[in-house]
Structure 1
């Protein structure tokens, strides 16, 4: 038994999980955050979620990935995109990087979105509406939601 355990202790993970960026488009005047409802093929259902994507380009930094994901996923751009929080997950999950994009505008010529999943709905919500969605289990209560609440708090 000990020999088997020692063999497993020496093994490295077979593949590294990609890091993820999550972007909160935030209207600083109305104090609203933009969320999307996306059909996720792997789950065969719709989820309300935030603009997000995997970090898949080795030559680009995390913030550049956030800016590109905002453009690809919801055709928005912002002059002010900044880092809110990062978590390095060790047990089972991927590192997550959270960004706020202040007062984004819709792009005239957005890049094509390479994702297979597609957006079925989108809306701006204030903190009360967001909290109601959490309470009604329309949004998942997870680290991304906690960071969104922190974004709301930042602009109170």
Structure 2
């Protein structure tokens, strides 16, 4: 019986149960945040969003997942990762962990991105441009965008 329980603990959680890391690459000099536009197969459309991914490796902590997502999704690395906020599982929502990656640089040999969805565009935006994207509904108004606004305010 103990073996069965231990095997279940090592199984990958289902996609809907995964905790998620969100990473905000942030240039502290220009006060800009990096956004990606990704084609998401399950919705058959493009979305502007943040670097993100599921916490799917049971032997790694959330910071390691955030570092890996930044490398896999946008081939960037940073010497400074700041934990901005974590939410709990409330009303069926997945726990989310938000990080700022200060002044990221492009990697020489990035890891391959295992995701099926692919990036169609990317850009650095300041807080005013970010707000215009929210007003134009190019970005969803959700916990992720509220935390991004907190990231901007951190560097005023």
Q: How high is the TM-score relative to the length of structure 2?
A: 0.90
Alignment RMSD: 1.3
Partner of 2:18: 18
Partner of 1:134: 134
Q: Structure 2 matches for 1:83-102, cutoff 5 A?
A: 83-102=83-102
Distance in 1, Cα, partners of 2:71 & 2:54: 14
Q: How high is the TM-score relative to the length of structure 1?
A: 0.90
- Measured against aligned partners, the alpha-carbon deviations of 1:91-120 in whole angstroms (never above 9, x if no partner) come to 121000000000000000000000000000
Structure 1 runs not aligned, ≥5 long: 1-13
3-state SS, counterpart of residue 63 of structure 1 = helix
Q: Does 1:28 align with 2:28?
A: yes
Structure ID, larger Rg: 1
Structure 2 runs not aligned, ≥5 long: 1-13
Partner of 2:53: 53
Distance in 1, Cα, partners of 2:15 & 2:124: 37
Distance in 1, Cα, partners of 2:15 & 2:54: 15
Distance in 1, Cα, partners of 2:142 & 2:46: 17
CA apart distance, 1:36: 0.2
